[in-house]
Amino acid sequence: MDAIARADDALEVYGAKLGSRLLVGTSMYESPAILADAVRASGAEVVTVSLRREAGGARAGGAFWDLIKGLGLRVLPNTAGCKTVKEAVTTAQMAREIFDTPWIKLEVIGEDDTLQPDVFGLVEAARILSNDGFQVFPYTTEDLIVAEKLLGAGCEVLMPWGAPIGSGRGLNNVFGLKALRAHFPDTPLVVDAGIGAPSHAAQALELGYDSVLLNTAIAKAGDAVAMAHAFKLAVRAGREAFLATPMEPRDMAAPSTPVFGRAFS
């Protein structure tokens, strides 16, 4: 079947089928209106939301939550900023109550400058939450051993970073990401963090990754709505290129016009 016409090419995670392979965050936008317009322009069906945007007590985040609900999309709460297993687990449990979903994007941050995940705490928290009925989306590195342990802890999807959160550097370790894809061919893989341009997203999908999750690249663009649409097109192009099977790179030139039959003087 023509890749362009693949109506059944949906991303499936924890039994949910998603037509879009772009997941977007909801922080740092200049206004609620720009956030809403950008999310719609992205074509995303899942948005990530931090519990810290939904304040307790006076519920100062109520207007924000009403905006998110108005978009009619699936919500993926996250434990952004959590540095310990206890903090991440508690935040996840609170998020489940507020957002009424078993989905959780699990972050356990281990280093302040790079916001690199604490993979030891991450595996422990993933096991606790999985046993508690959560469907965990772990923000991790491209380490193969960590990936194996996360799957063993109950995760059914992995979210390796491309580069440090908010850096916009793209895919820092293409070799490692390709190795992860090759070792876990049947596991949904989402590049999370570091994506800065549509070309980075397209590259991730061309490598066979199932999706990308990004926030800063859209929210901090000069025109967030236009950038969101650009990412929508890039993800689609990358996926279709992967399905079409790109040519293998060569060390030597290969003429596109055959020498045989050419006139010689």
Please tell me which residue in 17, 69, 83, 105 is annotated as part of the active site: 105
232 close to 19: Cβ distance less than 8 angstroms: no
Residue 213's closest CA among 235, 190, 234, 196?
190
- Is the pLDDT assigned to residue 172 strictly greater than 90? yes
Check if 220 is active-site.
Answer: no
What the block records as the tokens of 233 is 């097109």
More confident residue, 139 or 6: 139
Condensed to tens digits (0 to 9), the pLDDT of residues 196-236 reads 999 999 999 999 999 999 999 999 999 999 999 999 999 99
Task: Give CA–CA dist 172/69, Å, rounded.
Answer: 35
| Residue 65 pLDDT greater than 90, yes or no | no
Separation between Cα atoms, residue 229 and residue 40, nearest integer Å? 9
For the entire predicted model, the pTM comes to: 0.89
Min mean pLDDT across 70-74, 155-159, 187-191, 210-214 is at 70-74
When pLDDT is averaged across residues 252-263 and rounded to a whole number, the result is: 71
pLDDT digits (tens, 9 = 90+) for 113-158: 999 999 999 999 999 999 999 999 999 999 999 999 999 999 999 9
Question: 250 falls in which pLDDT band (50, 70, 90)?
Answer: confident
